């Protein structure tokens, strides 16, 4: 259905968001976000609002709960991330799309807690830190040498 709408109108932001988001009756409102009426209680965000699950995100979570292989769950989650991203590209001011994109990204991050990209990034940070530390040690040594020479002369 959503695919059909997007085939006819590729820039239909609403179709993209709804593809990932819950049915209209469950769409987040200010009341929902205040935690008064969570949409999908078992799948709500830690804050208690109902905006965590989208149709795609929801399917990903249900698959994860049913013990389906992690790769399939991750693919669904990443599909949701891409659709929210496309929706934000069409309308950068859409708070609903931005909020959902952020939550979908968070979920995707949970599925890949520590991967190679993180390891490489952390390693580069460690290298920078080591270089800075080596420079500071060298400076201290230089100061000591200069200090001892002054004492000799």
Q: 94 and 132 in contact (C-beta within 8 Å)? A: no
Q: What's the rounded Cα separation, in Å, for the pair 74 and 137?
A: 45
Largest Cα–Cα separation, the chain:
88
| Using rule CB under 8 A, residue 46 touches other proteins | yes
| Using rule CB under 8 A, residue 117 touches other proteins | yes
Q: What's the rounded Cα separation, in Å, for the pair 23 and 79?
A: 18
Q: How far is the CB of 112 from other proteins (least distance, A)?
A: 5
- 70 or 140: CB nearest other proteins: 70
- 40 or 99: CB nearest other proteins: 99
Q: What's the rounded Cα separation, in Å, for the pair 108 and 152?
A: 64
Binding site for other proteins (CB under 8 A): 33-35, 45-49, 51, 81, 88, 92-93, 95, 98-99, 101-103, 105-106, 108-110, 112-118, 121-122
């Amino acid at each position: 259905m959503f695919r059909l709408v997007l085939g006819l109108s590729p820039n239909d932001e609403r179709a993209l968001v709804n593809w990932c988001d819950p049915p209209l009756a469950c769409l987040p409102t200010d009341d929902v976000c205040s935690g008064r009426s969570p949409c999908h209680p078992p799948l709500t965000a830690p804050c208690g609002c109902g905006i965590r699950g989208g149709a795609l995100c929801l399917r990903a979570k249900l698959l994860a709960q049913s013990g389906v292989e992690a790769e399939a769950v991750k693919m669904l989650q990443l599909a949701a991330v891409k659709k929210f991203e496309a929706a934000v590209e069409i309308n950068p001011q859409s708070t609903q799309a931005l909020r959902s994109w952020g939550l979908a990204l968070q979920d995707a991050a949970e599925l890949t807690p520590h991967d190679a990209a993180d390891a490489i990034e952390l390693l580069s940070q460690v290298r920078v830190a080591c270089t800075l530390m080596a420079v500071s040690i060298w400076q201290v040594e230089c100061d000591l040498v200069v200090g001892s020479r002054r004492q000799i002369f």
